[in-house]
Amino acid sequence: MEGITKLPVGEQVEQFLLIKQATKGVTTVGKPFMSLILQDKSGDIEAKLWDTNEEHENMYKAETIVRVGGEIHDYRGKNQLRIKQIRVARPEEGIQVSDLVPSSAIPKEQLMEELTQFFFEIKNPNISRITRHLIKKHQPSLLVHPAATKNHHDYVSGLLDHVVSMLRLGKAIAELYPSLNTDLLYAGIILHDIGKVVELTGPIATTYTIEGNLLGHITIMVNEIGQAATELNIEGEEVMLLQHLVLSHHGKEEWGSPKKPMIQEAEILHYIDNIDAKMNMLKRALDKTKPGEFTERLFPLDNRSFYKPTI
Amino acid sequence: MEGITKLPVGEQVEQFLLIKQATKGVTTVGKPFMSLILQDKSGDIEAKLWDTNEEHENMYKAETIVRVGGEIHDYRGKNQLRIKQIRVARPEEGIQVSDLVPSSAIPKEQLMEELTQFFFEIKNPNISRITRHLIKKHQPSLLVHPAATKNHHDYVSGLLDHVVSMLRLGKAIAELYPSLNTDLLYAGIILHDIGKVVELTGPIATTYTIEGNLLGHITIMVNEIGQAATELNIEGEEVMLLQHLVLSHHGKEEWGSPKKPMIQEAEILHYIDNIDAKMNMLKRALDKTKPGEFTERLFPLDNRSFYKPTI
Amino acid sequence: MEGITKLPVGEQVEQFLLIKQATKGVTTVGKPFMSLILQDKSGDIEAKLWDTNEEHENMYKAETIVRVGGEIHDYRGKNQLRIKQIRVARPEEGIQVSDLVPSSAIPKEQLMEELTQFFFEIKNPNISRITRHLIKKHQPSLLVHPAATKNHHDYVSGLLDHVVSMLRLGKAIAELYPSLNTDLLYAGIILHDIGKVVELTGPIATTYTIEGNLLGHITIMVNEIGQAATELNIEGEEVMLLQHLVLSHHGKEEWGSPKKPMIQEAEILHYIDNIDAKMNMLKRALDKTKPGEFTERLFPLDNRSFYKPTI
Amino acid sequence: MEGITKLPVGEQVEQFLLIKQATKGVTTVGKPFMSLILQDKSGDIEAKLWDTNEEHENMYKAETIVRVGGEIHDYRGKNQLRIKQIRVARPEEGIQVSDLVPSSAIPKEQLMEELTQFFFEIKNPNISRITRHLIKKHQPSLLVHPAATKNHHDYVSGLLDHVVSMLRLGKAIAELYPSLNTDLLYAGIILHDIGKVVELTGPIATTYTIEGNLLGHITIMVNEIGQAATELNIEGEEVMLLQHLVLSHHGKEEWGSPKKPMIQEAEILHYIDNIDAKMNMLKRALDKTKPGEFTERLFPLDNRSFYKPTI
Amino acid sequence: MEGITKLPVGEQVEQFLLIKQATKGVTTVGKPFMSLILQDKSGDIEAKLWDTNEEHENMYKAETIVRVGGEIHDYRGKNQLRIKQIRVARPEEGIQVSDLVPSSAIPKEQLMEELTQFFFEIKNPNISRITRHLIKKHQPSLLVHPAATKNHHDYVSGLLDHVVSMLRLGKAIAELYPSLNTDLLYAGIILHDIGKVVELTGPIATTYTIEGNLLGHITIMVNEIGQAATELNIEGEEVMLLQHLVLSHHGKEEWGSPKKPMIQEAEILHYIDNIDAKMNMLKRALDKTKPGEFTERLFPLDNRSFYKPTI
Amino acid sequence: MEGITKLPVGEQVEQFLLIKQATKGVTTVGKPFMSLILQDKSGDIEAKLWDTNEEHENMYKAETIVRVGGEIHDYRGKNQLRIKQIRVARPEEGIQVSDLVPSSAIPKEQLMEELTQFFFEIKNPNISRITRHLIKKHQPSLLVHPAATKNHHDYVSGLLDHVVSMLRLGKAIAELYPSLNTDLLYAGIILHDIGKVVELTGPIATTYTIEGNLLGHITIMVNEIGQAATELNIEGEEVMLLQHLVLSHHGKEEWGSPKKPMIQEAEILHYIDNIDAKMNMLKRALDKTKPGEFTERLFPLDNRSFYKPTI
C-alpha cells in the first residue's frame, strides 16, 4: 500500500485511517458537516463528511480508527479525500493506532541503543549519573514522543530521532573543534528537549499540556535536573552547567531562553539543534518538490520557499 | 553628621568612610594613583589618592573602613573628595561596616514583621506552606540583601523593602479588583525576587555570582519552589502556579521571562514590580533635583530626564 | 430575561434586539443574504438572514430595533442565532435603544458623582478650573460615551466607568507614594481620554470620526486644554503640565504619544491606564472561561490566552 | 578674513571670537582649566585655557565676545586653538554677536520675501488667513531662529532658510504631480516647523526650552493653529487638515508624529523635509572632504560616511 | 467603451476581455467552478464560472482572449462580473492582447524619446557609454515591461513610465541642489530598475523568474554593469559608482540593498524612487475615492488609508 | 622567545617589533606624545612614546620594524609596554615583516593543498571550472589575506584558514545529511569570502578599500562569478546557483545579503560560516581566561562574556 498522501487525484481509496482531528461545521446555507483530518503512516489528508448529525459527531472523534471508501480529488491545489463510505474499525480487524501514525524511519529501539552508546563517552561521573537518571526516568515516553506538534520531527519517536541525529552531528563537530568538552556537549544534547515529554500530550493528536503552556519544556527540564541532583546527592558546578545548557538552548531571550548561551558548549548546542531541525524540515519539503520548482512556504524558516536545483 | 553626599563644595571632611571600590590607575604621564569610591549611610563619593604604591594598594581595598580628612571639590559638575589624610580605622574605634552603608529607611525587623502579617492572609495551605518554608530558609539573607546592584533598592535590606512596598500596593489593587486571587498575588510578590539572595553576592560591594550569571534569579527561585514542594510533599496546581508567577514576572521573553504572564495575578505582579521599582528610582532622582529643572538621565527609565514642576 | 449571549444552544428566542451592524453578502452560488450583529444588554450575537432583497437591506439597517423569533445554534464553536421571524419594532411597543445596549454596571449618574468628588481634592486653582471647565463642556457625551470601539470599556458610559475606576486606583497609589502630586495625577486621569468624545462617534455602533482618524484623541484634548486656558485667562506651568499628562499617557512614541512621560505623575498615569484597561479585559474573558481552561486569545494583551486556575 | 575654521595648522590667530560654550575641567593631576568653544561666522573651534580660577569662570561665559591671540594646532586629528592671550571685547570696539555667528547664505529679508511670494499661491482663504496670521505673529523669531541645535540648518535664520528651500522643492514636485493640492502643501511647508521658535531658545547657544522638552514643536504648532482658527473665527476641514499636516510631518509614530500622514500632501511634506535636511547635511560634510575620501560619520544619516567621487 | 472597471452595478456587459488569471475551485458542497480575473485596458475584475469541467479548464486559461456577456453585480463591497455567456475569441475578430491590457498613459515611443534626451545631459563618456549600451541591449523589453507585479507601475510600459517620471523629478531636484552630479544621478535613475526585465516574466500575467527570486533585479543589474564595462573596455571609478547606485537604491539592508547609499546621488536616487512609486499608488487609490472618504488600505504604504479632503 | 603578549608585568623587553598603528596625541597639559601598537607573532601590545616631535612621527610609522627596549607594566588592567629605548631596525639585521605578524597555525601551503583536494570532490564540470578559475586568479592574495580586520581569522592566511576549516565541517555535515549537494556546498564554501581579497587591503594593518566600502565582498564575488562564466563560456543554472550561494551567505538582508538563502546548501553554508567564526573567537577568548572566570565581552557574540568551567 502506497500511503494516503502518495495517491494521485482520481485514485480510488479503500483502507483504514486514523482520525487525527475532527471539527464540526455548518455550510453557508446552514447545513451541518464534519471536517476530518485522516492519517496513515505516510501522513495526513483532509476529508469532508456532509449532512452529519450528533450521532456522527460522537462516533467519528479524534483518535478513532475508521475504514473509509472514497476517491482523491483536488481542492484548491491540495489533495482531499471525497468520502463515499465510512465506518468505525472493528476490534477483530486488529488495526492498531501505531499502524496508522507516521514515525521515525529507524526503529525506536535502535535509536535508543545509539543514544545509550553515548553514555560511555561521558567521563564525568556527576554528568553521567544525572543524564542516565533522567533518561531512565522518562524512557517510556521518550521512546514514542514527538519533538513538536508540527514543523519538524512531529511524529512517533520524533524526539528520540532528533536527539540521536544531533548526537551524531555533535560528535562530528567536537572532533573538528577539540576545545569543546564532550561530556557537557553530549549531556546537553541528550537532555535539552526531554522536557517535551511533559510539555506535549503524547505522540497522537499532540497538543500542549497546561504545564507545557505555563512553564515550558525548558523550565520543566531545568527543574528536573535540580531534583535529580538532590536525589542523587550530587553537588558541584556540573549541576549548574547542565541546567545552563538546557536553559540557554533556544539561543536568545525572545526565543524563550531566559539566559543566552554563556559557555561554548551551550552556543554550539543551539547551532546543532537548529541545523538538525532545519534539515528535517527542508528534506521533507524538498522531497515533495520537483527539480526546477520551489517548495511551499516554510513558516519556521522565515516563511521562505526553497528552490530545488535541476543539477 | 550630615552624610558625605550632602556636603557642599568647599566643606572640610573628617570622618570614617567605607571603601566600596578601589581601582589602580596611571596618569597620562605614567604616575600611579588610586581611584576610590568611599561611602557612608548617605551614599557614595569618588576620591583620588595620588602617588600611590603597592603598599597603598594592599591597604586600601574594597570593604575596608578608613578615616579620611579632606575637602569637597567640584570635578566636571560632580562632587569629589580631595583626600588630605587617610588611614585604616582601628578596631578599638568600634566602627562597623553596617554603620557606613545605606539601608532601608524602615528597620529590617519591622519590614519582616510587616511581611509576616501577609502570611495570615494566605488561606490556601499549599501556597502558605511553600511560601513560609522558603522565607524561613532564606530569612538571614533576605534581612540584609539588596534588590539590585544599582538603579533601585540597591541598599542593605533593599530586597525586603521592595517586597513589603509591593505587598502594600498589591493589597490596594486587590481591593479594587476583587477577581484577583490574593493567595496567588501575595505569594507571588513575596517569592518573585528571593532568588536574588543567590544571584547577588550580598549587601556590600554587590556583584553577580556565577550562578546568578548562568541561571539568573528567576530560574533559581523556580527550582527552589519545586524542591520545597518535594520536601513538603505538596502536589497540585499550586506548585505550577507559584512557579509560573515567578517565571513570568519580567513580563516578556526579551526581559528574561521564558513565558509571558498567563494568569491574571502574574500580569498584575509584573505591573506592581515595575511601579514600585520606578517610584523608587524617581523619588531618589527627584530628591536631588530643584523645582524647574530636570533630573539626570535615568538609564533604566529609557534614559529619560524627568522634570520637577514648580507648582 | 437572561440576555441573548447567555442562552444555551437549542434555546428558543423571541425578543427585541438592536441591529448593531448589517452587512450584505452573496453565497458562493450567488444568492444574496444579510449578516446581522444583534444585541441586547448582555452583549451581541451573529445572525444570518437568507434570500434577502433590496427591501430587506433598507429595512434592517444598523441602529434599528427588531423583534426576532428564532433559535440558538452552534456555528464553528460560537453561538449564532437562526432567525425564523423578524420585523421592525413598532413605536407603540416603547422599546428604546438604551434598553438594548450594554452599559456600565454602576449607573452613570453615580459614576459622575464619584468623579465630581475628586474635584474637591484638587487644590491648585488653575488645574481645578481647567479640569472642571472641560468636564462641564463635555458632560453630556461623557455620560454615555464608550472608551473604545472594542476590547475594553466598549459600552455605554464605558469612558466614565474607566475614568472613575482609574481615579480609585490613583488614590490608592498616591497614598503609598506620597511624593506624587495628586492635583496633577487626578486631573491627568480625568482628562486623559476625554478627547474620545470627539474621536469616536458615540455609544451605538461606535466608529472613528474623520477628526479621530486624522488627529486622534490625544491631540484633540491637548488642543482643548490650550483653548480652555485661553478662555479662562489662565497662564502658567499648569497648562503645559496638563497638556503633557494627556500627551504622554500612551507611554511611548510608537504607541501614539509624541513625547514619553517626563514628570512622575505622567509615568504613573500611563501605568494606571494600562492596569485598569487590562483588568477590564481579563475580567470579561475569565468570566466566560471555566476553571482549568484557557480564555480565547486576547489581541490587545499580545494575543495571549490566560489560564483560569482551579484553586 | 578667512574665518577660524578655514585656517591651517600653524597659522597665527588674532581676532574677535564668540564664546559659544564654556566648561570647567580639572586635569588628572587636579589642576583647573576651561574648555571653550569659540566661533565666528565660519563655524566653531575648541580651545583650552589652562590654570584658570573663579575669576576666569565668571569672565569667560557663553555668549561673551573675546579678543584672542594664539595659534592653530592639531589635536587628535582635529584643529584646536592654542590660546596665548585672551580678553573680553570692549563695547567701544563695536563687535556684535551677529558678526560672529554663522547664518544663512542668503539675507533673511530676501528669504522672507521669497516666502511671502508663496502666500499669493494659496487660494483657499481659510488656509491663507491662518498661515499669514501665524507667520506674522512669529515673524521676529522666524527671521533669526535656527532649525535645530545641531545637524542641519543650525545657524542664524536656519529655520527660514529651510522653509524657503522646501517651498522651492515643493513647487517643483507639485508641477510634476498635479494631483497635489498646493494650498495644503505650501501651507504645510510654511507651518510645519514654526513651533521651533518656542521649542528652541534662540539663535545663539541654542538649547531646548522646558516647553520644547515636554510638548515639542509639533504639539506647540498644532495648538497654535487651533488658537489661530478660534481668533479668526475660522471653522471647517481646513483647520483639521493643517493640524494634520504639522502633526504627521515626522512620518511615523516612533519619530514623534502621533499620526502617520493620511493625506497625500502630508506624505510628500515628510519627504520634502527629509530631502532638504539631508542635502544640507551632505553639502556641509562633503565641502570639508577631499575627492577620493570619505566624510566623517554623520549621525542623523544612520551614522554613515559618504564617499566623495573623484570624477 | 468605458472600460470594465468603470461600469456601475447592474450594467450589462458584452465585450472582449483577457483572462489574466484562472483558478479552479470547489464549492463547500463539492461542485467545481472557475474563478477568473478578466481585464481590459481599464483594469481587471473578478468573475465566477459555475459547474465547470475539464474542457472549460483547458479552454479558459491565463492569456486567452474571450468574448463575455454578463452583468456587473456587487460582491462584498467589490464589483464582480456575473458571466452569462463566454467563448474564446476568434482569430478573425482581430483582437490583440495589447488591446486589453492597461498601459502607460503616454505612448511608449514618446517615453523612450524623452529618456533618450537625457543621454545628451550625461557628459562623462564612461557613464554615458555604459548607460547607452545597457539601454540598447534591453530596449525591446524595456519598452513593454511593467515595474512590478502589483502596487505601482504594474502595467505595460510601466517600467519605462517610472524611469521617465523619475528623470523629470531628478532634473528638478538637481536644479535646486547643484552639488549633485547629474551624470551619476541620471545614469542611476535610468539603470536602477532595468534588472526587472530579467527579474519579471513580462508585461502579461507578470510573475517572478527563478533568477529574479534567487538573485533579484539589483544583483542582476550590478552584474550587467560589470559585464558592460568589460565588453566596452572601460575601467575607472565610474563602474564602481554606477554599481553602487544600483546596489544601494533600496536604501537599507533590510529592504534588499546590501549597502546603504554612500554617495549623495545614491541617497537622492532612493528618495526619488520612493516619491514616484508612492505618488503613482496614491493617485490610483485617490482616483477611486470620493472627497470626504478614505481610500482602501494600501499595503506598501504601511497599510494606511488616505483621506481625500473636501476642499 | 615567548612573544610580547605572553610576558608578565615587570618583565624586561629587548626585541624587534612591528608598528601596527601609530597615532599622535597631546597630553592634557599640551605635551605631544605618540601612541604605538606594536606586534610580534604572538599578538599586539600598546606603548607610549613621550615628548615626541615631527622627526619621531616621520620615523615611527605603521609597518615600520623597530628594536625596542623596555618593561611590561599594567595600565588599567591591561598590559602596556614602557619604552626605554627605540630605534628603527637596520636592513642588515634581516628582520622581515612576516616574522612579526600573527598567522595561521598551519602553514599556508598545507592549507592550500587541503583546499585543492576538495576540487576532486566537485563532479559538476561547470561548478568545478568556475571555482578553480577564481581560486587560481586570486591565489597569491588568498595565500596571505586575513578573513577580517578584527574579531575572527584576522591574521596572515586567516582567510584560507577559515575556508579550509569550513570545508572540513562541511564534509562532516554532508555525510550526516546526504540530501545536500556537495558540489554546491564545497564550491559555496570555497568562494563565499574570496571577495575579501578585494574588500580588504591586505594582511598588514588591514583596512577596507573604497570598493570594499561601496560594493562589499559579496557583490564583488558575485560579479566575478559572472565574469568567470563569460570568460569560460559557461551557461546554465550552475552560474546562478553559485552566485546565490555567495549572495545569501550572510543569511539575512539586515546582515548584508540581498536575498535570504533559498537553496538548502546556502542555508547550511550560512551555518557553517557562523560556527567556524564563532569557534575561532571563542577559542581565542577562552585561551586567555582562567577556569572559573569569564572572558572579556565579545562584541560580535552579542557582547557576551563566556564562562570557562572548572570541570
Alpha carbon distances (Å) from D176 to A239, B191, D172, F110: 71, 66, 7, 64
Q: Which of B212-221, C133-142, E224-233, F45-54 has the lowest mean pLDDT?
A: F45-54
Residue E106: burial class (beta carbons within 10 Å; 0-12, 13-18, 19+): middle
The pLDDT value given to residue E52: 85
Contacts of E229 in chain F (CB under 8 A): none
Amino acid type, D72: I
Length of chain A in residues, anyone? 311
Give pLDDT tens digits for D53-86. Answer: 888 888 998 889 999 998 888 776 678 898 989 9
Q: Which residues contact F97 (CB under 8 A, 6 or more apart)?
A: F18, F63, F65, F204
Give pLDDT tens digits for F10-19. Answer: 889 999 999 9
Taking residues C264-283, what's their average pLDDT?
97
Between residues 15 and 54 of chain A, which touch chain C (CB distance below 8 Å)?
23-26, 28-30
**Could you count the other beta carbons within 10 Å of the beta carbon of residue B123?**
10
Nearest Cα to D252, choosing from D285, D274, D229, D221?
A: D274
Compare all CA atoms of chain C with the CA of D237 and give the residue at the minimum distance.
C211
F213 with D294: Cβ contact below 8 A:
yes
What is the overall mean pLDDT for chain A?
Answer: 92
Return left, alpha or beta for B286; rule: phi > 0 is left, psi -120 to 50 is alpha, else beta.
alpha
Between residues 182 and 211 of chain B, which touch chain A (CB distance below 8 Å)?
210-211
User: How far apart (Å, rounded) are the C-alpha atoms in residues F47 and F83?
Assistant: 7
Q: State the nearest Cα–Cα gap between B211 and chain A, in angstroms.
A: 7
Please list the alpha-helical segments (H only) found in A106-236.
108-119, 125-144, 158-176, 182-191, 196-199, 210-214, 216-231
Q: Is 80 exceeded by the pLDDT of residue E27?
A: no
E74 with C30: Cβ contact below 8 A:
no
User: How far apart (Å, rounded) are the C-alpha atoms in residues A220 and B222?
Assistant: 10
User: How far apart (Å, rounded) are the C-alpha atoms in residues B261 and C275?
Assistant: 14
Compare all CA atoms of chain D with the CA of E284 and give the residue at the minimum distance.
D179
The pLDDT value given to residue A24: 80
Alpha carbon distances (Å) from E181 to A258, D279, E184, E269: 52, 13, 6, 12
Q: Does A226 touch chain B (CB under 8 A)?
A: yes
User: How far apart (Å, rounded) are the C-alpha atoms in residues E199 and A180?
Assistant: 45
Q: Is 60 exceeded by the pLDDT of residue F1?
A: no
Taking residues A240-258, what's their average pLDDT?
96
**Could you count the other beta carbons within 10 Å of the beta carbon of residue F261?**
27
Alpha carbon distances (Å) from E40 to C21, C287, E17, E65, E204: 36, 55, 6, 10, 12
Q: Is 80 exceeded by the pLDDT of residue F74?
A: no
All 3 cell numbers of residue F288? 586567555
Contacts of A307 in chain E (CB under 8 A): 210, 213-214
Q: Which of B26-40, B154-168, F167-181 has the lowest mean pLDDT?
A: B26-40
Q: What's the pLDDT band for F51 if we cut at 50, 70, 90?
A: confident
Contacts of E291 in chain C (CB under 8 A): none
All 3 cell numbers of residue B202? 550580598
Neighbours of chain C (3+ CB pairs under 8 A): A, B, D, E
More confident residue, C23 or D109: D109
Nearest Cα to F78, choosing from F38, F42, F46?
A: F46
Alpha carbon distances (Å) from D47 to D25, D37, F30, F117: 13, 6, 11, 63
Q: What DSSP state is assigned to residue F93? A: G
Amino acid type, B250: H
Contacts of A27 in chain E (CB under 8 A): 28-29
More confident residue, A284 or F219: F219
Give pLDDT tens digits for A52-67. Answer: 888 888 899 888 999 9
Contact between residue C177 and residue C204 where contact means Cβ atoms under 8 Å apart: no
Give pLDDT tens digits for B84-93. Answer: 899 999 999 9
Backbone angles phi, psi at B159, to 5 degrees: -65, -45
Q: How many CB pairs under 8 A join B and C?
A: 106
D271 with E267: Cβ contact below 8 A:
no
Q: What's the pLDDT band for A96 if we cut at 50, 70, 90?
A: confident
CA atoms within 13 A on the CB side of A103: 19
Give pLDDT tens digits for D130-189. Answer: 999 999 999 999 999 999 988 889 889 999 999 999 999 999 999 999 999 999 999 999
Q: Which residues contact E233 (CB under 8 A, 6 or more apart)?
A: none
A219 with B219: Cβ contact below 8 A:
yes
Contact between residue D294 and residue D310 where contact means Cβ atoms under 8 Å apart: no
Taking residues A214-238, what's their average pLDDT?
96
Compare all CA atoms of chain A with the CA of F164 and give the residue at the minimum distance.
A176
Taking residues E116-122, what's their average pLDDT?
96
Q: What DSSP state is assigned to residue C295? A: P
Contacts of A236 in chain F (CB under 8 A): 311
Backbone angles phi, psi at F290, to 5 degrees: -85, 150
Contact between residue A148 and residue A193 where contact means Cβ atoms under 8 Å apart: no
Q: Where are the beta strands (DSSP E) in B89-122?
A: none
All 3 cell numbers of residue F286? 577562552
Nearest Cα to C49, choosing from C63, C62, C35, C38?
A: C35
Q: Does C161 touch chain B (CB under 8 A)?
A: no
Taking residues A203-229, what's their average pLDDT?
94
B283 with C177: Cβ contact below 8 A:
yes
Compare all CA atoms of chain E with the CA of D184 and give the residue at the minimum distance.
E311
User: How far apart (Å, rounded) are the C-alpha atoms in residues E201 and D57?
Assistant: 73
Contacts of C76 in chain A (CB under 8 A): 23-26
User: How far apart (Å, rounded) are the C-alpha atoms in residues B4 and B18?
Assistant: 11
The secondary structure element, H or E, covering residue C159 is helix C158-176
User: How far apart (Å, rounded) are the C-alpha atoms in residues B243 and A68?
Assistant: 47
B74 with D24: Cβ contact below 8 A:
yes
Give pLDDT tens digits for C143-161. Answer: 999 999 888 898 899 999 9
Helix, coil or strand: residue F18: strand
D268 with E274: Cβ contact below 8 A:
no
Nearest Cα to B104, choosing from B153, B164, B163?
A: B153
Contact between residue D224 and residue D195 where contact means Cβ atoms under 8 Å apart: yes
Distance of CA C13 to the CA centre of its chain: 28
Q: What's the pLDDT band for A20 if we cut at 50, 70, 90?
A: confident
The secondary structure element, H or E, covering residue A14 is strand A12-26
User: How far apart (Å, rounded) are the C-alpha atoms in residues D197 and B239?
Assistant: 61
Alpha carbon distances (Å) from F106 to C283, F18, F101, F164, F170: 68, 22, 14, 11, 19
User: How far apart (Å, rounded) are the C-alpha atoms in residues B204 and E275?
Assistant: 60
Q: What percent of chain D has pLDDT over 90?
A: 68
Q: What's the pLDDT band for D118 if we cut at 50, 70, 90?
A: very high
Q: State the nearest Cα–Cα gap between B306 and chain D, in angstroms.
A: 10
Give pLDDT tens digits for F110-122. Answer: 999 999 999 999 9
The pLDDT value given to residue E28: 60
Amino acid type, C308: K
The pLDDT value given to residue E162: 97
CA angle C11, C17, C20 (to 5 degrees): 120
Contacts of E181 in chain D (CB under 8 A): 309, 311
Q: Is 80 exceeded by the pLDDT of residue C266?
A: yes
Q: State the nearest Cα–Cα gap between A240 and chain B, in angstroms.
A: 7
Q: Does C255 touch chain B (CB under 8 A)?
A: no
In this prediction the pTM is 0.90
Q: Which of A171-175, A215-219, D244-248, F299-303 has the lowest mean pLDDT?
A: F299-303
Q: State the nearest Cα–Cα gap between A185 and chain F, in angstroms.
A: 13
What is the overall mean pLDDT for chain D?
Answer: 92
The pLDDT value given to residue E10: 81
Helix, coil or strand: residue B82: strand
Nearest Cα to E8, choosing from E101, E115, E81?
A: E81
A282 with F264: Cβ contact below 8 A:
yes
Q: State the nearest Cα–Cα gap between E228 and chain C, in angstroms.
A: 46
Contacts of D23 in chain B (CB under 8 A): 76
Q: Does A253 touch chain B (CB under 8 A)?
A: yes
User: How far apart (Å, rounded) are the C-alpha atoms in residues E52 and E35?
Assistant: 10
Contact between residue E47 and residue E70 where contact means Cβ atoms under 8 Å apart: yes
All 3 cell numbers of residue D110? 530676501
Nearest Cα to A227, choosing from B215, B217, B231?
A: B231
The secondary structure element, H or E, covering residue F36 is strand F32-40
Q: Is 80 exceeded by the pLDDT of residue B239?
A: yes
Most confident of A288-302, E216-230, F197-211: E216-230
Q: Is 80 exceeded by the pLDDT of residue D2?
A: no
In this structure, the dihedral spanned by the alpha carbons of residues E19, E25, E31 and E32, taken in order and rounded to 10 degrees, is 40
Contact between residue C90 and residue C65 where contact means Cβ atoms under 8 Å apart: no
Contacts of F241 in chain E (CB under 8 A): 214
**Could you count the other beta carbons within 10 Å of the beta carbon of residue E122?**
21
CA angle E281, E286, E289 (to 5 degrees): 140
Q: What's the pLDDT band for A25 if we cut at 50, 70, 90?
A: confident
Contacts of B301 in chain C (CB under 8 A): 267
Q: Is 60 exceeded by the pLDDT of residue B1?
A: no
Q: Does D76 touch chain F (CB under 8 A)?
A: yes
Q: Does B305 touch chain C (CB under 8 A)?
A: yes
Query: What is the ipTM metric for this complex?
Result: 0.87
Backbone angles phi, psi at B142, to 5 degrees: -60, -30
Largest Cα separation within chain C, whole Å, is 68
Q: Is 80 exceeded by the pLDDT of residue C93?
A: yes
Contacts of C237 in chain B (CB under 8 A): 309-311
Neighbours of chain B (3+ CB pairs under 8 A): A, C, D, F
Q: What's the pLDDT band for C101 if we cut at 50, 70, 90?
A: confident
All 3 cell numbers of residue B173? 489593587
Is A touching F (3+ C-beta pairs, cut-off 8 A)?
yes
User: How far apart (Å, rounded) are the C-alpha atoms in residues D302 and E252?
Assistant: 10
The pLDDT value given to residue E24: 80
Contact between residue D202 and residue D155 where contact means Cβ atoms under 8 Å apart: no
Q: Which of B178-182, D42-46, F133-137 has the lowest mean pLDDT?
A: D42-46
Q: Which of B56-70, C162-176, E178-192 has the lowest mean pLDDT?
A: B56-70
Contact between residue F232 and residue F130 where contact means Cβ atoms under 8 Å apart: yes
**Among E168, E275, E283, the residue to mutate for chain D (most D Cβ within 10 A):** E275
Q: What's the pLDDT band for A42 if we cut at 50, 70, 90?
A: confident
Alpha carbon distances (Å) from F44 to F6, F38, F78, F83: 10, 5, 12, 15
Contact between residue F50 and residue F31 where contact means Cβ atoms under 8 Å apart: yes
